[in-house]
Amino acid sequence: MTTTYRIATIADLDTLQALSCQTFSATFGAENQPEKMADYLATAYAPAQLTAELENPHSRFVFAEVDNTLAGYLKLNIDDAQTEKRGNDRLEVERIYFLPEWQHHGLGRQFIAYAEQVARADGKHYVWLGVWEHNENAKAFYAKMGFQKVGQHSFVLGDDPQTDFILEKAL
C-alpha cells in the first residue's frame, strides 16, 4: 500500500466538494437531523466557500491517495486562517477526513505526522484541532497521538450548536 500526498488547488474544487460532503455525511450523518446536515453541507462546502478556503494563503488542503485512489484529505490552517485565535505559534488541523473504506488503515497517523512536519517547518510549536465531544473514536485516536484537551468551543451544524473539544499537542 503506497500513500502519496498532493496539495489541492482550485482545479480540484469539484473533487474537494464531493469528498467533503461524502466524508462529513458518513462520519456525522447518523447522529444529526437530515435537514440540519443538508443545511450545513450546502453552506460549509459550497463552491464559493471552498474557493475562498483554497485561495487563502494560510490554509492548505492535502489529498491522500492510496495506490492512486483518493482516500481522504487534510486541511491545515495557520495564522489568521485558524478557526480560533490560538496564536501564530500554532498550526490547526481543521479537517482530517477519510472515506469509510480507508479508515483504520493507519492514514490518520500519517496525516498527523504530516501536519506535525508542516508545523515544524513553519516554525510552529503546537498542533491543535477541534473534535466533536461525541466522537469517541476520534477522541481516543487523538489521545493516542499525544493530544490533550485544552478547551472547547461551539460548532454549529445547521442551527444546532454542538460542542467541540479543543485538543492540542506540543511539538
142 catalytically annotated? yes
Name the active-site residue from 40, 73, 97, 142.
142
How many helices and strands (H and E) does the chain possess? 5, 7
CA distance 85 to 104: 31
CA 156 to chain centre: 16
Q: What angle do CA 167, 134, 95 make, to 5 degrees?
A: 50
Mode of pairing for the β-strands spanning 126-132 and 90-98:
parallel
CA distance 116 to 125: 9
157 - beta bridge partners?
160
Mode of pairing for the β-strands spanning 126-132 and 69-78:
unpaired
Active site residues: 142
